[in-house]
């Protein structure tokens, strides 16, 4: 440990294994601050670096990264999760259902496998915070990269009713059609989230990421006792969560979605964990 109480960061060398997180923007990403200390703690010669790339350049950048011999994985954040899924050779069941990916892994044969842990990480974070999902009525704002995976995970975890809203109607309707094939009768499209009739309301849109963004929904319309979750990690206290908390609602911060994925990342990439050595 260093004098600051943090594990020492391993020096980058010619043997260092690389991971990249691609997004636009990337200033808000929290994964390097979480995973690089983990690499150091595990004694791994590896580093995760942020790569800002515009949507127009995504395919060229990802294809270039995939050709780097010592790059083992690519993490994906907004707004690239749907397009990144199409740049993999194979897809997990979750990616097939959600249509989006938040991580790509190089396989032994050089091919790339796409997976999405946003949903399972989000559900794990809710469970750790003591928020029950089974039998609950959920309103989800956002059918994009993370929202699609969260929708599938909430239904897998036993949500009784899931209402999905998104201003992009074709994207919203396509997601609900895919979900309904697995969970008929439990998922519906809505023009506006049914705040008065939901136990859990989730913001899976980018609204709140930038100063001056409008709220994704009006918290004063929430049902008494509703839990309000936001997937935005920076700022931690989004305007939505601040207003919901001021109204007496339980709030759930975005960082929990990331911390809930760490164990899955370790398994997916074959990382040694502190408990397994």
Whether 101 contacts 114, CB under 8 Å: yes
Q: Where are the beta strands (DSSP E) in 90-168?
A: 90-91, 103-106, 112-115, 137-141, 161-165
- 79 preceded by cis ω (within 30°)? yes
Cβ partners under 8 Å of residue 110, min gap 6: none
Q: At what angle do helices 145-156 and 118-128 cross, to 10 degrees?
A: 60
**Which of 158, 156, 160, 216 lies closest to 188 in space, CA to CA?**
160
Q: Which two tokens stand for residue 139?
A: 């309103």
Catalytic residue flag (residue 81): yes
Which residue carries 């050595």 as its tokens? 277
For 244, the 3-state DSSP assignment is: helix
> What is the SS3 assignment for 156?
helix
Q: How many CB atoms lie within 10 A of CB 228?
A: 24
Catalytic residue among 21, 36, 61, 81: 81
The number of CA neighbours under 13 Å toward the Cβ of 60 is 6
Count of beta carbons in the 10 Å neighbourhood of residue 212: 5
Task: Indicate which residues carry an active-site annotation.
Answer: 81
């Amino acid at each position: 440990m260093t004098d600051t109480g943090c594990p020492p960061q391993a020096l980058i060398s010619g043997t260092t294994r690389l991971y990249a997180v691609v997004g636009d923007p990337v200033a808000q990403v929290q994964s390097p601050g979480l995973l690089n200390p983990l690499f150091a703690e595990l004694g791994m010669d590896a580093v995760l670096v942020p790569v800002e790339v515009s949507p127009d350049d995504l395919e060229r950048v990802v294809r270039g990264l995939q050709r780097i011999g010592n790059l083992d994985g690519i993490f994906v954040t907004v707004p690239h999760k749907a397009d990144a899924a199409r740049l993999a050779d194979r897809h997990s069941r979750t990616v097939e259902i959600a249509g989006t990916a938040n991580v790509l892994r190089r396989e032994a044969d050089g091919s790339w496998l796409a997976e999405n842990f946003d949903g399972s990480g989000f559900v794990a974070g809710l469970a750790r915070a003591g928020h029950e999902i089974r039998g609950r009525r959920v309103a989800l704002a956002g059918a994009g990269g993370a929202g699609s995976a969260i929708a599938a995970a909430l239904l897998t975890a036993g949500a009784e009713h899931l209402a999905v809203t998104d201003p992009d109607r074709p994207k919203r309707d396509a997601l609900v059609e895919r979900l309904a094939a697995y969970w008929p009768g439990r998922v519906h499209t809505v023009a506006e989230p049914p705040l008065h009739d939901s136990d859990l309301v989730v913001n899976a849109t980018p609204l709140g990421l930038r100063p001056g963004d409008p709220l994704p929904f009006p918290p004063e319309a929430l049902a008494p006792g509703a839990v309000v979750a936001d997937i935005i990690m920076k700022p931690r206290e989004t305007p939505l969560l601040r207003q919901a908390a001021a109204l007496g609602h339980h709030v759930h911060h975005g960082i929990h979605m990331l911390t809930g994925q760490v164990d899955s990342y370790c398994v997916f990439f074959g990382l040694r964990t502190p408990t397994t050595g």
